[in-house]
Amino acid sequence: MTIQDGNPETDIPGKTTSASRTTLSHIMTGSDTNLLGTVHGGVIMKLVDDVAGAVAGRHSGGPAVTASMDEMAFLEPVRVGDLVHVKAQVNWTGRSSMEVGVRVLAERWNESTPAVQVGSAYLVFAAVDADGKPRRVPPVLPETERDRRRYQEAQIRRTHRLARRRAIMELREKRAADGIED
């Protein structure tokens, strides 16, 4: 698949999901903890944003910035001494935006037990040029049934995100028209 606008110089060939799929691993230490003694959610969110940004940059072939985080689910606490693996891939692409899906897994650093999923997130990134203006991204080419499902689910999340934004703007306009200030 290629994005075509009739100009061979600007046609962008698609990239497979595996072309930019990335894993970031980090061992959690005492400096990562919150007041409860488990790893602070913000530490995990930073790792999520870091790996998602790398994936978005790889897929788009240049700089990409975080536009939104649709969802961050913490499923299990992460502890000091856990080896955390943060895995990400591009699920969907638009003209200049990409949804990146992230899975967070943890395993004890000194045990040979399987890693357990402890979190997940969906982030939207926008590809930007040197002036910070949106630039086109290659279409993502799902390779497996799982990739195709993720692509379809990402389209649903996008539809909901846009509908939510539209409903909020309509509410604000109505309140302003009624003379209600925030």
DSSP conformation letters of 106-125: EEETT--PPPEEEEEEEEEE
pLDDT tens string 5-56? 444 445 789 999 999 999 999 999 999 999 999 999 999 999 999 999 999 9
Query: Which amino acid makes up residue 111?
Result: E
Q: What is the pLDDT of residue 10?
A: 54
Q: What is the pLDDT of residue 70?
A: 85
pLDDT tens string 96-145? 999 999 999 999 999 988 999 999 999 999 999 999 999 999 999 999 99
Domains of the chain: 15-178 (3.10.129.10)
Q: What is the pLDDT of residue 12?
A: 86
Query: Which residues sit opposite 15 in a β-bridge?
Result: 140
132 token code pair? 């910070």
Query: Of how many residues is the chain composed?
Result: 182
Q: What is the pLDDT of residue 6?
A: 46
Mean pLDDT of 176-181: 89
Residues 6+ apart with CB under 8 A from 89: 17, 18, 20, 21, 22, 55, 100, 101, 147, 150
Q: What is the pLDDT of residue 57?
A: 98
Tokens 């630039």 found at: 135
Q: What are phi and psi of 39, to 5 degrees?
A: -70, 135
Cα 52 from Cα 102, distance rounded (Å): 7
Cβ(1)–Cβ(126) below 8 Å:
no
pLDDT tens string 143-173? 999 999 999 999 999 999 999 999 999 999 9
User: Strand 140-141 and strand 15-16: pairing?
Assistant: parallel
